[in-house]
């Protein structure tokens, strides 16, 4: 029976090179990789660890499964992730599903089987109730990035890189309260987003409760995660609630739509109504007036997600759950409330 030394002799390379090809290490010339793989195929060679691994290692693809592909924040992260994957010698396969889909695990399993991936980064999505057992049919590393939940060490079958959405939203709302605001509205995306929206709403509500402010369920606006939706819904909302003095929008895109609606109503952003966004996108800094926002460390998040996945693929680390810090940046759209 042919062995790894025979493959190395036929290919005219060292055993270690054949081993790196089998384990899909990126530090092999593409011409050499193709030559070794062709010899393996011609001789029906199956590595000792199993035929399954050979099938897997014929692929050099990393999958990115994104929920909310039109989310500009994810678009910026996706560019960073793609460049880092390519630099490491892998190819990125992008798959996306919409907000109405709530079957993340089946989507994940399907893409891994269909595309024969080395690993997957899930960008966004609702993974609140996942358990170790959900990953029993997944034999490649998975990193959940910018998702809606904080995981403990007991969940050891996957990794995650995220922020504490509830804590960040709490801080943003508390800042508005400290500025003297009591009638604070919350702008969410849509009714179907039970992931990140839910955690940020929880932080908003807890800040109100902790500061003795009654929760008004009418102070809830659905901006559809875009400029126009936020603009139209803010105008309608202000027609009915002129007592509101601040709006916390859970994305910078919606915060900009809010700001435009306030200006078009003849009001002054930051004076008549304060606005806070979320994400730390460039537009929050260059819009006039500049928008106070919660900055997510998107560059760090993208880098850590890819590097962690690569280390998992090469068995250099165990699964881990990483929480990154956010920062509240105060700008012109928020000011202390003057009665």
The DSSP-derived string for 21-84 is HHTT-S-S-HHHHHHHHHHHHHTT---TT-HHHHHHHT--EEEEEEE-TT-HHHHHHHHHHHHH
Res 338: pLDDT = 65
Q: Answer yes or no: do 154 and 197 share one domain.
A: no
Res 102: pLDDT = 57
Cβ proximity of 48 and 339 under 8 Å: no
Is 118 a domain residue?
yes
Q: Answer yes or no: do 291 and 307 share one domain.
A: no
Q: Answer yes or no: do 307 and 160 share one domain.
A: yes
Is 337 a domain residue?
no
Q: Answer yes or no: do 146 and 251 share one domain.
A: no
Q: What CATH number did the domain enclosing 33 receive?
A: 1.10.260.40
Residue 121, CA distances (Å) to 83, 85, 310 in order:
14, 11, 11
Q: Answer yes or no: do 175 and 262 share one domain.
A: yes
Q: Answer yes or no: do 136 and 242 share one domain.
A: no
Res 50: pLDDT = 41
Of 124, 30, 120, 157, which is closest to residue 309 (Cα–Cα)? 120
Is 332 a domain residue?
no
The distance of Cα 145 from the centroid of its chain, to the nearest Å, equals 4
Is 335 a domain residue?
no
Q: What CATH number did the domain enclosing 292 receive?
A: 3.40.50.2300
Q: Answer yes or no: do 84 and 150 share one domain.
A: yes
Res 277: pLDDT = 98
Pair of tokens at residue 287: 């819009």
227 Cβ contact partners less than 8 Å away, ≥ 6 residues apart: 253, 254, 256, 257, 260
Q: Answer yes or no: do 73 and 137 share one domain.
A: yes
The distance of Cα 32 from the centroid of its chain, to the nearest Å, equals 36
pLDDT tens digits in sequence order for the chain, 339 residues long: 678 888 888 989 887 788 878 777 767 888 888 898 888 888 877 665 444 444 444 468 999 988 765 677 888 888 899 999 999 999 999 987 655 455 677 778 888 878 889 999 998 877 777 888 888 888 899 999 987 666 777 888 999 999 999 999 999 999 999 999 999 999 998 776 666 788 899 999 999 999 999 999 999 999 988 899 999 999 999 999 999 999 999 999 999 999 999 999 999 999 999 999 999 999 999 999 999 999 999 999 999 999 999 999 999 999 999 999 999 999 999 988 765
- What distance in Å separates the CA atoms of residue 334 and residue 291, rounded to the nearest whole number? 8
Is 229 a domain residue?
yes
Phi, psi for 268 (deg, rounded to 5)? -110, 120
Q: Answer yes or no: do 23 and 135 share one domain.
A: no
Res 53: pLDDT = 45
Q: Answer yes or no: do 67 and 185 share one domain.
A: no
Res 146: pLDDT = 83
Q: Answer yes or no: do 125 and 232 share one domain.
A: no
Is 331 a domain residue?
no
Is 247 a domain residue?
yes
Domain containing 12 equals 4-57
Res 56: pLDDT = 45
Is 122 a domain residue?
yes
Pair of tokens at residue 71: 């989310």
Query: Which pTM was predicted?
Result: 0.77
Burial 1-18 (b: 16+ CB within 10 A, else e): eeebeebbebbebeeebb
Q: In total, how many domains does the chain have? A: 3
Pair of tokens at residue 54: 């050979």
Of 157, 153, 148, which is closest to residue 195 (Cα–Cα)? 148
Res 135: pLDDT = 87
Q: Answer yes or no: do 131 and 251 share one domain.
A: no
């Amino acid at each position: 029976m042919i062995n790894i030394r025979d493959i190395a002799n036929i290919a005219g390379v060292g055993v270690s090179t054949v081993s790196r090809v089998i384990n899909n290490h990126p530090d092999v010339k593409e011409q050499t990789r193709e030559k070794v793989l062709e010899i393996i195929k011609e001789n029906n060679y199956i590595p000792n660890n199993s035929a399954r691994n050979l099938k897997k290692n014929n692929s050099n693809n990393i999958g990115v499964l994104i929920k909310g592909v039109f989310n500009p924040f994810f678009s910026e992260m996706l560019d960073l992730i793609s460049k880092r994957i390519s630099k490491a010698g892998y190819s990125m396969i992008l798959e996306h599903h919409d907000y109405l889909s709530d079957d993340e695990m089946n989507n994940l399993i399907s893409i891994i089987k269909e595309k024969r991936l080395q690993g997957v980064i899930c960008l966004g999505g609702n993974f609140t109730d996942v358990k170790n057992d959900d990953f029993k049919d997944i034999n490649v590393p998975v990193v959940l990035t910018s998702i809606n939940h904080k995981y403990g060490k007991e969940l050891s079958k996957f990794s995650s890189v995220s922020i504490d959405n509830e804590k960040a939203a709490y801080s943003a709302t508390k800042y508005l309260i400290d500025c003297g605001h009591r009638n604070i509205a919350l702008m969410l995306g849509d009714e179907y987003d039970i992931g990140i929206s839910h955690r940020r709403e929880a932080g908003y509500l807890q800040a109100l409760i902790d500061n003795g402010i009654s929760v008004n369920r009418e102070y809830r606006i659905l901006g559809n995660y875009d400029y126009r939706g936020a603009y139209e819904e803010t105008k309608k909302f202000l027609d009915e609630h002129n007592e509101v003095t601040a709006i916390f929008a859970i994305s910078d895109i919606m915060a900009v739509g809010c700001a435009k609606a306030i200006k078009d109503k003849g009001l002054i952003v930051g004076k008549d109504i304060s606005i806070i966004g979320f994400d730390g996108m460039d537009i929050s800094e260059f819009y006039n007036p500049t928008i106070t926002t919660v900055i997510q460390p998107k560059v760090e998040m993208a880098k850590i997600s890819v590097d962690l996945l690569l280390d998992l693929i090469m068995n250099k680390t165990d699964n881990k759950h990483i929480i990154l810090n956010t920062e509240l940046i105060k700008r012109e759209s928020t000011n202390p409330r003057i009665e």
